Structures are given as structure tokens and as C-alpha cells.
């Protein structure tokens, strides 16, 4: 049975993961409006990953005998100045998510919930990968600057990204 404090922390994080999905869906719409289909694809993969992350925690709480109670999801931002600004926002958001996962791990350690600790290790590793992936695209956008040809080349590259259903836990 999951500890009440641990359950509450997971429920809060499920909401944050669903917000991440919602935010990335908003960013996908932004790129669709710019007709940057590779960026749309990249964001679509992010949307699917965030959904999988939320559902991993959702299923975990239920498996541990907890009760999932969903709360309202905050409205995401909808306007950015450029693709570069979007990726700066993504990196900032992923760093925030990393801090949230670390706080969740703190609760697991505080409550001595070894099952939660083992489960959360996957999320900690995933966040390292998330920040590195976003950082790579951000670095390319910074190098490209205002070069439209560079932007279109990157768009073509981002179109090749595919979603792989993660095995969480």
C-alpha cells in the first residue's frame, strides 16, 4: 500500500506531467502555424512521451493500492517569438520537471518507500536524456540564428524523430 504522503506527491506530479503534455501540444500548434512540419513531428513525440510519463505514474499509484484523483490542468502558454524561444522555454520547463522528479524522490526517501525509489530511478535517468535532447536542438537553433536555410535543414532533420513507447519502472 502506498503511503498517503507519497500518493499525494505522485498525484501532484501526474498533474505536472499532463501539463507538460498540454504545453507541448500548444507548442506543436505553434509550429503547425509556421508550417514547420519537422518541428511539429518533434513536438508530437514530446507530447506522446509526456503522456506515457503521466500514465506510468498513474498506473503505479493504482498498482500500489492508491487512488488517482485528477485535478484541473493549467492553461499553457500559446505564443512565442521564434523557434529558438520555444526551445529555450522547453529547456526551462524540462529543468523544472527534473526538479519536480527530484522532489518526488526526496519524498520517497523520506518515507523510506523503496518501491517508489526503484520506480523513480527510471524517471531520473529519463530527465537527463530529455534535457540533453532539448539542449542539442537548442544549440543548433542558436548556431543557425536567422539563417532560413539552416532552419529548414533542421526542420527536415526533426521530421525523422519517432516515438518509442517507454518501458517505465
Tell me the pLDDT tens digit for each residue of 90-119.
999 999 999 999 999 999 999 999 999 999
Residue for cell digits 529558438? 84
Residue for cell digits 514547420? 36
Asked if residue 169 has pLDDT above 90, the reply is no
Backbone angles phi, psi at 134, to 5 degrees: -65, -45
**pLDDT given at position 145:** 97
Number of H helices, E strands in the chain: 5, 0
Q: pTM for this one?
A: 0.96
CA–CA gap between residue 104 and residue 76 (Å, rounded): 23
Between CA 85 and CA 44, with CA 134 as vertex, the angle to 5 degrees is 85
> Do residues 93 and 23 touch, judged by C-beta distance below 8 A?
yes
**CATH numeric code, 4-70+81-158:** 1.20.1260.10
* pLDDT band at residue 43 using 50, 70 and 90 as cut-offs: very high
First to last CA, the chain: 17
- 21, 143, 157, 25: CA torsion to nearest 10: 20
CA–CA gap between residue 84 and residue 95 (Å, rounded): 17
CA–CA gap between residue 11 and residue 118 (Å, rounded): 18
CB atoms within 10 A of CB 112: 10
The 10s digit of each residue's pLDDT in 50-90 is 999 999 999 999 999 999 999 999 999 999 999 999 999 99
Asked if residue 35 has pLDDT above 90, the reply is yes
Asked if residue 33 has pLDDT above 90, the reply is yes
- The number of residues in the chain equals 169
**pLDDT given at position 14:** 98
Amino acid at each position: 500500500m502506498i503511503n498517503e504522503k507519497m500518493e499525494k506527491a505522485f498525484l501532484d506530479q501526474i498533474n505536472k506531467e499532463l501539463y507538460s503534455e498540454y504545453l507541448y501540444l500548444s507548442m506543436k500548434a505553434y509550429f503547425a502555424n509556421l508550417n514547420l512540419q519537422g518541428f511539429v513531428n518533434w513536438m508530437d513525440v514530446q507530447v506522446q512521451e509526456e503522456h506515457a510519463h503521466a500514465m506510468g505514474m498513474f498506473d503505479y499509484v493504482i498498482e500500489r493500492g492508491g487512488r488517482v484523483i485528477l485535478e484541473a490542468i493549467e492553461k499553457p502558454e500559446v505564443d512565442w517569438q521564434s523557434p529558438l524561444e520555444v526551445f529555450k522555454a522547453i529547456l526551462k520547463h524540462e529543468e523544472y520537471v527534473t526538479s519536480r522528479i527530484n522532489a518526488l524522490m526526496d519524498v520517497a526517501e523520506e518515507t523510506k518507500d523503496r518501491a517508489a525509489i526503484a520506480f523513480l530511478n527510471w524517471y531520473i535517468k529519463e530527465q537527463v536524456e530529455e534535457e540533453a535532447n532539448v539542449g542539442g536542438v537548442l544549440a543548433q537553433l542558436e548556431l543557425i540564428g536567422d539563417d532560413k536555410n539552416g532552419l529548414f535543414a533542421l526542420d527536415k532533420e526533426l521530421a525523422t524523430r519517432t516515438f518509442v513507447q517507454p518501458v517505465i519502472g
